[in-house]
Structure 1
Amino acid sequence: MKNKNNKKIDFIPQMEPSFDENETNQLIKYMRGGGWVTEFKKTQEFSEMVRDYTKSKFCSIVSNGTVSLYIALMACGVRKGDEVIVPDYTMIASPNAIVLAGAKPVFCDIEKATLCLDFELFKKLVNPKTKAVMLVTVNGRYPTKYMDIVNFCKENKIFLIEDAAQSFGSFYKKKHLGTFGDIGSYSFSAPKIITTGQGGALVTDNPELYEKIRKIRDFGRENPGNDHYLTLGWNFKFTDLQAVIGIEQLKKMKFRVKRKKEIYKLYTKLLRNNNKIELIPTNLEDTSPWFNDILVEKRTELIEFLKMSNIGTREFYPALHSTPVYNIRKEFPITEMVARKGLWLPSSVKLTDEDIAYICSKINEFYK
């Protein structure tokens, strides 16, 4: 496959991580320095960097972004008989963590403008069993009535857990997403803006919740390294080997946030005149888009056409209520629509402007 300049086009994946000699050199240095690989000083350093970047009081690094949600639920006292409201449109880790905690996920439809939780629908679902809400800030965006949700939860003594897995580097009024509720959760899996392969983080300003998080992630120990167990806990710890990578990745955040916004702007510029494509309003002053997302007709055909042009894409998440694992017979019209029409385009920070121009030319060609 060649572009208009007759240059061969290698396959462009929908997403790929980005590493350079900094990660390589620091890993070699760590291993040659007698590193034990397991969680120790480098994990603590990475935790402090995430804490400072989000301007939180406390941060705990854990093994992945699903475990982080489970720990957050446990720290908030969520258990069997409780209900947790969660968007129908989210990665399945969100409701699965609720099930793992023994509670019932109660799905709520989203608003089309942001793909985030619909506040008015959310209020109607609250009942005496509602222990928490899991607010997912999809693709670095926040709900239209973000602060209404925050204040409603405070007034009604409902725990607010922010699933900000896709929002590291995104803000609302200069305050980092994931820091408005009781606990915020981030993911550092391979597709994220920074990655440690697998990994997650929990942030909070509440010292009591932090102490619970600290114990739950380390077998319930009173203090690391001792065998005095105060509560139920598990091994949800990190490794210094991953932390070495995370430290170097985090040093690149300023560039990556800038580049993510540049990429989104260029996609918007090159696709906005195509009336077959619907772009999702995005405030790039606040949002650092995780992925470049569009809503389209003839999605299956477009995916195949782009694949033949050496361009990888990924469908949006399904409407979770309709999946075999949940199988809830209820209508969630906005989620169902975006799940049917949504498509993620190539989104790596390694993309060049030439790559994006080629991708958009092929999309526009398909809809001619």
Structure 2
Amino acid sequence: MENKFIMQMEPWFGEEEKQAMSQYMDEGGWLTEFKKTQEFEEQICKYTGAKYCVAVNNGTISLTLAALACGIEAGDEVIVPNYTMIATPNSIKMFGAQPVFVDVEAETLCLNIDLVRAAITEKTKAIMLVTANGRYPKAGIDAFVKLAEDNNLMLIEDSAQSLGSFYPDGRHIGTVGNVGSFSFSAPKVISTGQGGVIITNDDQIADKLRRLKDFGRSGGGNDIHDSIGYNFKFTELQAVIGVEQMKKLQWRVERKKEILTLYKKQLAGVKEVQFFDQDLDCTTPWFIDIFAEDRENLQIFLKEKQIGARIMYPPINKQMAYQIPGEHPVSELVGQKGLWLPSASQLTDEQISFICLNIKNFYEKSY
């Protein structure tokens, strides 16, 4: 086992995806989105309970179109967490809206609702709530819904990391705000290589989304354009893979929960490692995320033992791409101590024990 490098994360495609793609090609498919895409969208609707699902080419564009369909325009302010993948603010920056960075909760890394409330101005038009690693904020989703309604704001759920995660009342994450967005890039619980979907229960938003992704066409395949739109369509090859991946989702959800439980059990006595609050009854961890003391040296040590680990997202406001003044203690702490441990669904119990043993060995030697 020690000779095989344990990746921090890797996708998992099998014989089922291979056979499905071969069968599709043998049937003379055109590859552009059609019936398989509709089947994939229907699977997402059934699993999440959403009324509508719109597939697009990636998870960043899904956020962009979600914002546009919610009426966000250039110059509008959108509150986003300072801890998130940079796609979250970039998705609105793309069309001239302005992200306003707010710090997150130390326990969940989701938006701190008190700081969100304080950041609202006359220019604020939306809150983009990122459910980090499938977790929901301590205040609860209904508190964010009320805050948005009280201030006439749209609530966009960036649920890129949250497929398979539910709120305590049984609603799937992403279905409660005006619109929700999921990503299917390579590291996600299920993957189509790239790709994303937007879900909503709003008839008008769903109609806008379908037009926005397809040149503003008034109907499929025609060249009558009632509104401005673009080309952000899915492909049938992605959908063929996605359909097979969805069949495996529930097993992966359960396995991800088992993996986190094993990590927490085996690292329970290591005071230098801190886990975040994860409701395993309702939510599914995408990655195994921790605060780790002496993070850089731990990462080097693990790599020497053929174990991959990845530094978590640094505070966005201090990245060169943004350079916006402001102190955000929790997201800055993530930048100093946040680490993702190996998290793939296909990890074995033996591999997890090997990883944990080496983490314990590192701290025993270092401290």
State the TM-score bracket (shorter-chain normalisation): over 0.9
CA distance in 2, matches of 1:183, 1:40: 23
SS, match of residue 175 in structure 1: coil
CA distance in 2, matches of 1:37, 1:104: 36
Q: How many residues align?
A: 362
Q: Deviations over 1:285-309 (max 9, x none)?
A: 0110000011011111000000000
SS, match of residue 198 in structure 2: strand
2:114 aligned to which of 114, 120, 124: 120
2:24 aligned to which of 18, 24, 30: 30
Is the counterpart of residue 172 in structure 1 residue 167 in structure 2?
A: yes
Q: Which residue of 1 aligns with 2:203?
A: 207
Q: Which residue of 2 aligns with 1:19?
A: 13
Q: TM-score, normalised by structure 2?
A: 0.97
More displaced stretch, 181-190 vs 332-341: 332-341
Q: Deviations over 1:259-285 (max 9, x none)?
A: 000000000001111011111121100
Q: Which residue of 2 aligns with 1:106?
A: 100
- Against the structure 1 CA distance between its residues 85 and 8, is the aligned structure 2 distance closer, same or farther, given a 3 Å change threshold? closer
1:194 aligned to which of 190, 197, 200: 190
CA distance in 1, matches of 2:319, 2:104: 17
1:300 aligned to which of 283, 296, 299: 296
SS, match of residue 212 in structure 1: helix
Kindly report the root-mean-square deviation, in angstroms, between the aligned alpha carbons of the 2 structures: 0.8
Could you tell me whether the CA contact under 8 Å between 1:73 and 1:101 is conserved in 2?
no
Is the counterpart of residue 153 in structure 1 residue 148 in structure 2?
A: yes
Is the counterpart of residue 216 in structure 1 residue 212 in structure 2?
A: yes
Q: Which residue of 1 aligns with 2:64?
A: 70
Q: Deviations over 1:131-160 (max 9, x none)?
A: 101000000001011221111112222000
Q: Which residue of 2 aligns with 1:256?
A: 252
Q: Which runs of 5+ in 1 are unaligned?
A: 1-6
Is the counterpart of residue 319 in structure 1 residue 315 in structure 2?
A: yes
CA distance in 1, matches of 2:90, 2:116: 19
More displaced stretch, 262-271 vs 75-84: 75-84
SS, match of residue 68 in structure 1: helix
Q: Which runs of 5+ in 2 are unaligned?
A: none
CA distance in 2, matches of 1:121, 1:321: 15
State, as a whole percentage, how many aligned pairs show the same letter.
52
Deviation at 1:101, TM superposition (A): 2.3
CA distance in 2, matches of 1:81, 1:353: 50
SS, match of residue 110 in structure 2: coil
Could you tell me whether the CA contact under 8 Å between 2:2 and 2:306 is conserved in 1?
no
CA distance in 1, matches of 2:308, 2:180: 31
Q: Deviations over 1:301-348 (max 9, x none)?
A: 000000000000100001000001110121001110112100000000
Q: Which residue of 2 aligns with 1:4?
A: none
Could you tell me whether the CA contact under 8 Å between 2:58 and 2:183 is conserved in 1?
yes
More displaced stretch, 144-153 vs 217-226: 144-153
Could you tell me whether the CA contact under 8 Å between 2:2 and 2:305 is conserved in 1?
no
Deviation at 1:79, TM superposition (A): 1.1
SS, match of residue 171 in structure 1: coil
Deviation at 1:254, TM superposition (A): 1.1
2:36 aligned to which of 34, 42, 55: 42
Deviation at 1:35, TM superposition (A): 1.0
Q: TM-score, normalised by structure 1?
A: 0.97
Runs of 4+ in 1 over 2 A off after TM superposition: none
Deviation at 1:27, TM superposition (A): 0.7
Q: Which amino acid aligns with 1:98?
A: I
